[in-house]
Structure 1
Amino acid sequence: MRMVNMDANHALSGKEQLYCGGAWVPPSAGNYEETFNPGTGQLIGLVAAATRAEVDVAPACLKEWRDVAPLERASILQEIAALLHKRGDELAMMDAANCGNPYTEVRGDAAIAAAQMEFFAGLVTEMKGDTIPLGPDRVNMTLRQPLSVVARILAFNHPFMFCGGKVAAPLAAGNAVIIKPQVQAPLSA
């Protein structure tokens, strides 16, 4: 996303691309949408608009992510949480500019999202199946496996906090996730 300065002390920067399949990619149809600061009407920048082509990548992502070993998956979620803590001010600035919320109100959103990542990272190795004896020569065993590709639609008023909360559990369980932010506030997601 191409950003403009919101004030003399803060510059928002990012990519005018989609994060898809583990990499930044341009939208396949080449479509971009403008996003604005609702308080000032000022253009903040452009955001890439996904199409069905980007959604169709998700099953391949699922095949890769579900095979990541549980300890490695938990470690990756912990790394994401650390990045959220580190970049909390930048994420808060994006949400304040894109949602119209006061910066002080959304400043804690990245910390909440990080806490949710940390919580579900801790549960990765606790997702276990059951073994039930059914007699002297039989055992019934269940194995927990990822469900599929999970789609998450975000609210506009605290998009990053909701993004972190909605992706943490499915990622911990080994599912792929498609995020659909609201058109009013797509930046932080």
Structure 2
Amino acid sequence: MNDLKNIVFTDEVKIKELQREFEEQNVKISKKIYSSVSEERLRVIKIAKKAKIKAPIENVFQEMVSLSAQNMHPNLKKEDLKESVFYRSSGKSNKIPFQVSKLKANEVLEIRWYANEQQFIKTISFYSNKNNTKTTIRYQDITTGMVSILGYFEKRIRSVYVKRQVIAFNISLLKTKLNLDLIKDNKKLKIERKIENMMKYSKDIY
């Protein structure tokens, strides 16, 4: 069993404090800042991706949520995630508190957190076809800041962020297919190398 005492917030006083902080941040960031509609839009970075995997929704949901949990903290498992609960991310993510704001089996996982005057909301939604032989995955990443993106440096940061999130989503799809044994044996090594190259490319982007 994982030792979650340093990952899951259980102290009621701290939980109430985080609830208050998250709500205050949400109100602050959601408030209109610019009179210009175009500048208001530039405060938001929105990524939307869609993919299909030929497997039952229950299997795809389990794998995708497991990967999401591990991405936030390597010691987290799918079973550890509960709706409305607060967690602490790993050291590589600066141990930032995050909340599972939505979690419904075989339907949706949503995670949100705040950092550097920005609100981050990641949502993965799942849909099956009539016979439950194919699962559609909709990924949405919405980041809202306090200022619009104007300068070259800020635009560069925005571009790098978008690229890394898209790469992370594509990697999760490939890992899910591998874990569900949907990749032919003679192609598994190639896919594993592809994942390694994608991870390296994402790390080296600047």
TM-score w.r.t. the length of structure 2 is 0.27
Higher helix share: 2
**Of the two, which has the highest radius of gyration?**
1
